[in-house]
Structure 1
Amino acid sequence: MQDVKLRARDAGASAPAPRPSALRRIGLALTPLLWLGPSLVLIAVVVLWPVAEMVRTSLLKISSSGVTLGDRGGGNYTDLFDEDDLVPVVLRTVGWVAGVVITTMVLSLAIGQLLNARFPGRRLVRWAVIVPWAASVLMTSLIWKWMLDNYSGVVNRVLLDLHLIDKPENWLAHPRGAMLWMMWVAVFVSLPFASFVILAGLQTIPEDVYEAARVDGAGPFRTYFGITLPLLRPAILIASIINVINVFNSFPIIWAMTGGGPGHATDTTTTFMYKLAFYDQNVGESAAMAVVNFLMILVMVLLYLRASRWREEVR
């Protein structure tokens, strides 16, 4: 009798568990959406829908008052690529982004090291560094435009007092000089964010690594390039990508300081598309320029990720 009970118990233990019903399996599969749903909806509304609307607008014929007059197919893109100023504007934009981002990252590495060091008043210095980022970009640009004024600007006054120039200069009158000054302003407002990202990266590096390097006889130069920079690669990657996107889409600096002029001589793609929409009253062509601008940003970010071999970092 006892053997029968044992065999019955063993048979029940080895029997397969009943499979959940189809509705239960669907419910289990959809459970993560309760947590991911709000984020997915936000991404769809804030990111995907504007992109889809931008592409749709680039294929339409739209009047200056915003009334849709019908489809244009690829006509807006044809008109855009026939613009004589398109190629110079695109090349200028690439140079603008590369110059600002490279200069910002080089300077932010030095500022990040400074902010990470221990010295009296460090907290006050950190607060001071973040001010240009917290201030309005438009107001910062207007202040620099006033400072560069050839009659009452402080830049001319200081250079004259130091006898570095003989007469006041109209710094924003010449396209090349104006681009250099606007790049400096873009670096000025980009430095705080990049510097604090670098600072955050520096603070994640264990002190034990530096102690081991000192025991091995590594000097400051070897320690920085052999330990600090490699361990900072994730922080540098994040700061660079965000800076590329921000500088590529930068509008207030150029518009406040030169308006993209004279003509299109200091335009980038963002100010150029604004002029297409509001000066030339061609909304569809401006939307086509926005699509091209979006694709250029994607290409530049992907090229940077490939150059930095981010996949190896993930592994």
Structure 2
Amino acid sequence: MSPSSKAAPAGRPPARRLPQRLGPLPWLAPSVLLILAVVVWPVVEMVRTSLRRIDTTGTDHGPAGLVKYRKLFADPRLAGVLGWTAVWTVVVVALTMLISLALAQLFNQRFPGRRITRWALIAPWAASVLMTAIGFRWMLDQVAGVLNQVLLDLGLITSAQAWTGDAAHARPWLVFVAVFVSLPFTTYTLLAGLQTVPGEVYEAARVDGASRWQTYRRVTLPLLRPAFLVGLVINLINVFNSFPVIWGMTQGGPNADTATTTVFMYMLRGYDVAESSAMSVVNFAAVIVMVLLFLKVSRWNEES
């Protein structure tokens, strides 16, 4: 009997083919490569750039260590930018979630014209955010803006106002526009969550004598928790990194008074590419920490 015809030793499993040993890796490989290409590589390049001496022409003059980070944190405008970014994120996300919750509850009811109002809500979502921001900027313009004209005609103001000319006037309008463009996605996310609540649950609550408020607080809100968390996390990331609304209306001015960290990062690129990259690294780290802390506090993976 030849050696090749001998049976395999007892207790040793037969050799598996290569595709079987790889398991699901061939199916996951395209997604992994895509993540490496569009997420990991840009982050690595961003960190590398922040540690170099690169002038405005793009010429690399060698390593700079942490010089750009020290320069960034020594910038007197940074404290104001960080403070406004925190206020901007909290206020816009809070208003968006509250208004969206009310709209989702409204659209979950049956009333004449419900389909039309649902379609109307998509309009801010369908339009470009930058286009919407520029439209509001022209509407608020001191010379040609329609808002000043209407208020003057109604006698509510005596002279045209520069609504985006200073931070005190511009910031409320920036918040308004940001909430306006954030409502469609959040409302439909919460509406989808509301429509998954079984009607039998409400019927059981009515049989048990629960009031409308008790039913909403103890039945609707707990069952809406997954959809609410999805909308909240996505809004936190989107609003924190929001660029088109602020850039389209004020370009972060005057003197970076209306700039968030994302807009400030873009403003720095005209003076120092490496410092702009350092701001990008800080911004990226802040997003990761913010989301991780939120997920930890909200216990997102636990059943209510």
Gaps of 5+ in 2: 1-8
Amino acid at match of 1:155: L
Amino acid at match of 1:19: P
Give, in whole Å, the separation in 1 of the partners of 2:102 and 2:21.
49
> Aligned pair 1:19/2:13, yes or no?
yes
> Aligned pair 1:297/2:287, yes or no?
yes
Which of the numbers 129, 151, 157 marks the counterpart of 1:159? 151
Report the identity percentage.
55
Q: Normalised by the size of structure 1, how large is the TM-score? A: 0.89
Aligned partner of residue 242 in structure 2, secondary structure: coil
Give, in whole Å, the separation in 2 of the partners of 1:198 and 1:174.
35
Larger gyration radius, structure 1 or structure 2: 1
* Distance apart, 1:137 and its partner CA: 0.8
Aligned partner of residue 111 in structure 2, secondary structure: coil
Counterpart residue number, 1:288: 278
Aligned partner of residue 312 in structure 1, secondary structure: coil
Give, in whole Å, the separation in 2 of the partners of 1:115 and 1:43.
37
Amino acid at match of 1:20: P
> Aligned pair 1:170/2:170, yes or no?
no
Describe the shift of the 1:47–1:152 C-alpha distance in structure 2 as closer, same or farther (beyond 3 A): same
Summarize the alignment of residues 222-301 of structure 1 with structure 2, pairs less than 5 Å apart.
222-278=214-270, 280=271, 282-301=272-291
What's the CA shift string for 1:17-72, capped at 9, x where partnerless? 75132xx2764341201211111111111111111111111111112121222111
Q: Which range moved further: 195-204 or 29-38?
A: 29-38
Give, in whole Å, the separation in 1 of the partners of 2:64 and 2:249.
35
What's the CA shift string for 1:106-160, capped at 9, x where partnerless? 0000111122211222222111101101101111011111111223322223334
Counterpart residue number, 1:189: 181
Give, in whole Å, the separation in 2 of the partners of 1:46 and 1:98.
28
Give, in whole Å, the separation in 2 of the partners of 1:233 and 1:49.
34
> Aligned pair 1:90/2:82, yes or no?
yes
Aligned partner of residue 182 in structure 1, secondary structure: helix
Give, in whole Å, the separation in 2 of the partners of 1:95 and 1:206.
38
Amino acid at match of 2:234: I
Measured on the aligned residues, the alpha-carbon RMSD in Å equals 1.8
* Distance apart, 1:291 and its partner CA: 0.3
Q: Normalised by the size of structure 2, how large is the TM-score? A: 0.92
Aligned partner of residue 285 in structure 1, secondary structure: helix
What's the CA shift string for 1:177-201, capped at 9, x where partnerless? 2011001100000000000100111
> Aligned pair 1:309/2:302, yes or no?
no
* Distance apart, 1:174 and its partner CA: 2.2
Amino acid at match of 1:306: K
Aligned partner of residue 120 in structure 1, secondary structure: coil
Give, in whole Å, the separation in 2 of the partners of 1:17 and 1:214.
64
Gaps of 5+ in 1: 1-14
Which of the numbers 112, 130, 135 marks the counterpart of 2:127? 135
> Aligned pair 1:106/2:106, yes or no?
no
Q: How many residues align?
A: 296
Which of the numbers 191, 210, 213 marks the counterpart of 1:199? 191
